[in-house]
Amino acid sequence: MVLLSDLAKGRDNNFNLIRMLAALSVLVSHAYPIALGADAEQPLKAWTGHTLGDLAVAVFFVISGFLIADSFARARSWQEFLAARVLRLWPGLLLSLAVVALLMGPTVTTLASGAYFSRPEIWTFFTRNTLLAVPQYTLPGVFESQPYPTVEGSIWTLFYEVLCYLGILLAGLTGLLARRRAMSALIGVFVITWLANAVFHPELHLKIRSLLSLGLPFATGTAIWLWRDRLPLSLIGVAALWILTVALAATPAYVPVMTAALAYSTFWLAYVPGGWIRAYNWIGDYSYGVYIYAFPAQGLAIWLAGPVTPLQNMALALPLMLLPAVLSWHLIEKPALAQRRRISAWVAAARLRGAQEPTRAPPPGPRY
């Protein structure tokens, strides 16, 4: 019996490939509304109740729940953990916003260049999308006459990714993450909350509903990390969970069980298949760049070619987004991640200086 903890050591895994396939799946899913309009029927929706993009984003959050919990456990300080998260998310995002708003935007807009840059939406595009909480999906005169008149569409999930990061940070600082049963109980409360929402449909703010939706796969990934030394990986387990998912399709437990099946399958694919498939890791991790550049590239494909089918949109957008994604990894994301070591060394040195600094005696108090 092979346990997940026996395999989840080091970086020899298939996560880069899985994340890349998930990012491409989001592109496939978005091709339908971008080419045909918001009401276009998407792949898998009729069969599963979820689009291909929904399932792909769930895979991202499952992996993130596992790896982010592990990242906090391995970090030498919470500052190192937080710096790693910031360096992974924002440098690539800021570059993509600049490319979209300052290069693509003025090229494709229906406005004159001066009119385009005089509009305040250009600058709120940067501020709102950098802060993530209230993203802005449009630019003045850009893609307004197309079936899906927005320039951004994927970055909304990043806000919830950050909230999940903060949840792990809080769990780590309070010691919950190191207490497996207590953390598992907390995740259980979250799942019960999700089920109550699914059964009773209370009036909740959209952001709360979205946090419940995306928090479920993240919590599932974290739970798997917590119990990794008790969890065997096998094809029998994969099959059993998917059979259970089908059996529970008409019940409120369908989505949590499907999330568990998707998560278990993801970790089986990440750690069990080896050999030549691991050669993909030599290429690089382009998945984040694909994720943030795909939507504007798909809109650009329609601007260049006119009305197209979803399949044509995929084919045209692929090279348009792949080049900036590759450049983003090699020129921005990878160098930014390398700074984690410097930050880690700086934090360690600061702690060492603090430990070695002699304690000063307090000034003498008044004599009575």
Extents of the domains making up the chain: 4-348
Mean pLDDT by 10 residues, the chain (368 residues): 90 95 97 96 90 97 98 94 95 97 97 96 96 97 97 97 98 97 98 96 95 98 98 97 97 97 98 94 95 98 97 97 96 92 70 62 43
DSSP output for 46-113? HHHSS-HHHHHHHHHHHHHHHHHHHHHHH-SSHHHHHHHHHHHHHHHHHHHHHIIIIIIHHHH-SS-H
38 secondary structure, DSSP code: T
Give the SS3 label for residue 148. Answer: coil
Give the integer Cα–Cα distance in Å for 290 and 22. Answer: 10
- Residue 357 confidence (pLDDT): 62
Q: How many CA atoms lie within 13 A of 140 on its CB side?
A: 16
Question: Token match 């790896």: residue?
Answer: 67
Give the integer Cα–Cα distance in Å for 100 and 139. Answer: 9
- Residue 346 confidence (pLDDT): 73
Burial zone of 149 (CB within 10 Å; 0-12 exposed, 13-18 middle, 19+ buried): middle
DSSP output for 188-225? HHHHHHHHHHHHH-----HHHHHHHHHHHHHHHHHHHH
State pTM to two decimals. Answer: 0.93
Structural tokens at position 264: 């278990």
